[in-house]
Structure 1
Amino acid sequence: MSAVRPVLPLWAASLTAVVGGFALDLSFPDVGWWPLAFVGVGFSLVSLIGRRAGGALLVGLLFGASFWFTHVDWTSRYLGVVPWFALAGLETAIMGALAIPIALAYRWMPRVLPGAVGRLLVLPALAGGLWTMRELILGSWPYTGFPWGRIGMSQSESPLAHLSSWVGVTGLTFLIVFFVAAAIQWIREARWRAVVTAVPAAALAMILLVVPAFPTTDAGSLTVGSVQGNGPSGYFDRRERGAILNAQLAASAPLFGEDLDVLLWPEGGIDSDPLSNAATAATLDALSERVDAPLIVNAATERGDDIFNTSMLWEPGDGATQLHDKTHPVPFGEYVPDRDFYAMLAPDLIGLIGREYTPGTNAPFFDLNGVGVGLAICFDVIYDDVVWDGVRDGAEVYMFQTNNADFRGTDENLQQLAFARMRAIETGRAVVNISTVGTSQVIAPDGSTIDSLPADTAGAMLTEVPLREGLTPAAIIGSGVQAVIGWGSLLALMVLGGFAFVRREKN
């Protein structure tokens, strides 16, 4: 068997790549058939084995297109096909280009390490590393990147999710791809009686299935009231001034007279700036006094020449005592990078984005009367640095605020909720995920659901939320895992290419 011969002819590899992309999308909510992530990865890798750069680019583009154009079709709900095609097209192009390094690994490794160790262990590890490197690039570039399609995030309902507490979501992606690549290599060996050939794949399967979640320490509980107002909070919703605030106030009424430690509202739960609007500030003061507890609320705030998406810890009489501004405003959603350039391409669409949110630099953390609260505003839940900074600063619980109103009835809502669940498991912390319109949930540190509100329904939860102490390995070494896998796999490929060139020249 030639290790560099394509497993499939190009036409079959192209079809396989397309099916693989669809399968990977189905592993995410709303379908959420998590085993299909393994199918999607497997089909993609098989389509790349033995391919030269041009063929790898083609099948990589086909895989990326079938995944991304289905995975983020919710972006077209209100703004039409242009944002959908722009985002999915960009992600597809990057995914296609970065399929080439994976194909090169399959071509070069047999020349440099033709033995069983190279074929069955080193090559699958490198394939897993290069796939993970691609995810890291997609999640950080261009601008702030878009880490929405990470394989590890598809496993929120699977028995493998607990591994993220050890190696983070990035490490979970690596292990899944490593396992699939090792299984493919074992099948390609076709030596069923040689038990040793199954050892790498079998060992990885044991790791995936047997390793438990890293335990964190019980630190008591916090009584949290969280309110989903279901107000007119979509970008194009028609509303009168103060309509969102009034909806949140009305939905908070069942909590009046209850004993709670904090009242949590979602992103955009206030449609005026309480830092500059005295009437709004007075309303929040009255609410805080009525529930006899601090508030964690969110609004667009203006400070100097800058506008921020701001979460506030509001104390009665003292106002906003602590602030956290969204770390990663969404490009083309909350601001327009290189606005003059893109305005020339799509002036009407760009003109709809009136505000220019400034990235925040303050910590995603509040000290709530001695209890550490980690924060993430809407899409910030997908960025590792925000979540890890909160827990490293001392968060004992997370409170995620979001506004899904622009994506009512789409997969976005449940995908983001799944990401919040993965963050709970990864950090060993409970998560209160509150939305303007739903779905809102309180998630336990093991990923199970403690409390919930259905979508498109006004309501309030009063929940005894567990607190946890102690850092998971993911929170401690997560950035190191990313650096080792990302830069390490790229360096390994470069070294491999050098040796392969020397071997070819000698021959």
Structure 2
Amino acid sequence: MRSPSADPARRLRPLLPLWFAVPVAAVAGFLMDLAYPSASVWWLAFPSVALLLLALIGRRAGGALLVGFVYGAVFYFLLVSWTSRYLGVIPWAALALLEAALTAVAVILIALAYRWLPQAFPGTLGRLLGLPAVVAALWVGQELFLGSWPYTGFPWARLGMTQSESPLAALTSWVGVSGLSFLIVFAVAMLVESVRLRLWRRPVRLLVPAALILLLLVTPAFPTTPAGTMRIGAVQGNGPNGYFDEREPYAVIQAQTEATEPLYGQDMDLLVWPEGGLDSDPFQDATLARRMTMITSRIDAPLLANAATGRGDEYFNTSMLWTQDGTAEQIHDKRYPVPFGEYVPDRAFYNAIVPDLIGLIGREYSHGTNPPLIDVDGVMVGLAICFDVIYDDVIAEGMHGGAQVLVFQTNNADFRGTDENLQQLAFARMRAIETGRSVVNVSTVGTSQIIRPDGTTIASLNADEAGAMLEDVELRSGLTAGVILGPWLQQLLLWGGLGALVIGWWRARRRR
């Protein structure tokens, strides 16, 4: 007598009735949020993925669309609740519903894989390895889709980023963040198929999933080469940096200056201030420029600062290396200004819908094109400004340019008291592990940290407190496999998953 899992007709039926699959998807979304900071229960990502896959198995497109939307809505409404901190429910709901809708569309392909692949490749090998591989590849494709569209995308919720404090984080140095997402989903999908195939009746076949999970847990980080140290100071001024903060003239730089004073007379190679650590453009404000020059003279080191700058008819979010002679020849402009935060795409269209909100965004930042790198006495420092930390190409460009340490400047003042800062800090920690580089992550209002290449913390400043850090930060050279192969692996998984789905559809159709 054949087992139910061997019956093609039964394999085409949904594993869970829709009335039950929808609340299961909601629970999956809730658990996935808990895997991110501030809860940071990283292992909950695994049951979350399992529940969503169980809700999708056997679904047709319409049912999968509903399941995916419910999962996405619960997940994103919880994850990005910080967007409502100042502007209220409209931008929060708009972002969460958009991401939920895009997630719903993307997971239809996963549901189709569960319908077509078991028919196309019905053997144990196809079910235990082939199907999970395609499902995991399609998951990565969904992440790339949400991370690149619309406009510059929102790659904030990638599954691999949940693992910054888990034993699996080291895998990013081999396969990148997307590769880690693939491995997590692959492992979960393989366990799901092991149960559906009732492999506990044939324990030898359980060796494959057991060996994979063990391998994932014990893989060490990809080795990089120590290249000395750099003494770096980082200052968190805790000034009035928020969009709606009331401030006196030069109040922001005054807060930064006061927090820097304990570092006067200390030996250092570089002083770092956060994004938005200046009140205005120092290239056009002589008073501000003089204050910065005074500080670089006091510390006898260059100052990496950040401000909104204007060039011609364009504005940029700019980091600059200010030197003791009162100049800054090295600058980097933020590559991905935040849509509806730092600029408004299709302004006329959105202004007709919500003119009060769009009217608050008066300045349009342009996308930077210069490299995310500065040279400090022969040491290349890779940069990322605020949300640029979540874009792989910005990090990769700095690494390929020879960065031996990474500096991330951010302004979290608009999200005080929310999880946004901790989520971004977790992403910074994951970048340290992925690249094999130390990371100096400095915020206007916290939490700021200096992080070792293995993801452990050297120094930290609590949120909503002014302070300074000064540490000998380890430099490293050499590129990890994750940096070199990560972009290629993304494309392989994206197109390989789609190609396998088409082949599965064709073979399933012929077999029927």
For the aligned pair, the TM-score class normalised by the smaller chain equals over 0.9
The Cα offsets for residues 157-216 of structure 1, whole Å up to 9 and x where unpaired, read as: 000000000000000000000000000000111131313432442232023111110111
Is the aligned partner of 1:97 residue 2:117? no
2:419 to 394, 411, 426: 411
2:48 to 40, 50, 68: 40
Equivalences for 1:122-201 in 2 at 5 Å?
122-201=130-209
**Counterpart in 1 of 2:259?**
251
Cα offset, 1:318, TM superposition? 4.7
Cα offset, 1:468, TM superposition? 0.5
The Cα offsets for residues 317-357 of structure 1, whole Å up to 9 and x where unpaired, read as: 15112010000000000000000000001000000001100
Is 2:231–2:472's contact at 8 Å kept on the other side of the alignment? yes
Cα offset, 1:267, TM superposition? 0.1
What SS is found at the alignment partner of 2:339? coil
Q: Distance in 2 between matches of 1:299 and 1:200?
A: 53
Is 2:117–2:501's contact at 8 Å kept on the other side of the alignment? no
1:50 to 58, 81, 99: 58
Give 2:75's aligned amino acid.
F
**Counterpart in 1 of 2:7?**
none
Q: Distance in 2 between matches of 1:196 and 1:179?
A: 17
Cα offset, 1:379, TM superposition? 0.3
**Counterpart in 2 of 1:320?**
328
Most deviating of 442-451 and 271-280: 271-280
Most deviating of 452-461 and 490-499: 490-499
Cα offset, 1:499, TM superposition? 2.1
Q: Distance in 1 between matches of 2:229 and 2:264?
A: 20
Q: Distance in 1 between matches of 2:392 and 2:313?
A: 29
TM score, norm. by length of structure 2: 0.97
Q: Distance in 2 between matches of 1:400 and 1:372?
A: 14
Is 2:199–2:206's contact at 8 Å kept on the other side of the alignment? no
Cα offset, 1:281, TM superposition? 1.3
Count of aligned pairs: 504
Equivalences for 1:289-328 in 2 at 5 Å?
289-328=297-336
1:402 to 410, 434, 437: 410
Equivalences for 1:326-345 in 2 at 5 Å?
326-345=334-353
Q: Gaps spanning 5+ residues in structure 2: where?
A: 5-9
What SS is found at the alignment partner of 2:119? helix
Equivalences for 1:106-505 in 2 at 5 Å?
106-504=114-512
TM score, norm. by length of structure 1: 0.98
Q: Distance in 2 between matches of 1:236 and 1:386?
A: 29
Is 1:182–1:200's contact at 8 Å kept on the other side of the alignment? no
Most deviating of 14-23 and 204-213: 204-213
Is 1:16–1:44's contact at 8 Å kept on the other side of the alignment? yes
Q: Distance in 1 between matches of 2:356 and 2:62?
A: 37
What SS is found at the alignment partner of 2:152? coil
Give 1:210's aligned amino acid.
V
Give 1:23's aligned amino acid.
L
Q: Distance in 2 between matches of 1:57 and 1:171?
A: 25
Is 1:147–1:382's contact at 8 Å kept on the other side of the alignment? yes
Q: Distance in 2 between matches of 1:395 and 1:107?
A: 46
Q: Distance in 2 between matches of 1:199 and 1:85?
A: 45
Q: Distance in 2 between matches of 1:234 and 1:379?
A: 16
The Cα offsets for residues 47-69 of structure 1, whole Å up to 9 and x where unpaired, read as: 00001111111111111111011
What SS is found at the alignment partner of 1:363? coil
Equivalences for 1:5-84 in 2 at 5 Å?
5-84=13-92
Cα offset, 1:402, TM superposition? 0.2
Q: Distance in 1 between matches of 2:35 and 2:239?
A: 31
Q: Distance in 2 between matches of 1:25 and 1:145?
A: 19
Cα offset, 1:4, TM superposition? 2.1
Q: Distance in 1 between matches of 2:339 and 2:510?
A: 44
The Cα offsets for residues 411-469 of structure 1, whole Å up to 9 and x where unpaired, read as: 10100000000000000000000000000000000000000100000011111111001
What SS is found at the alignment partner of 1:42? helix
Identity %: 61
Cα offset, 1:5, TM superposition? 2.2
Most deviating of 198-207 and 324-333: 198-207
Cα offset, 1:277, TM superposition? 1.4
Q: Distance in 1 between matches of 2:24 and 2:212?
A: 25
Give 1:374's aligned amino acid.
G
Q: Distance in 1 between matches of 2:276 and 2:438?
A: 22
Is 1:120–1:197's contact at 8 Å kept on the other side of the alignment? no
What SS is found at the alignment partner of 2:200? coil
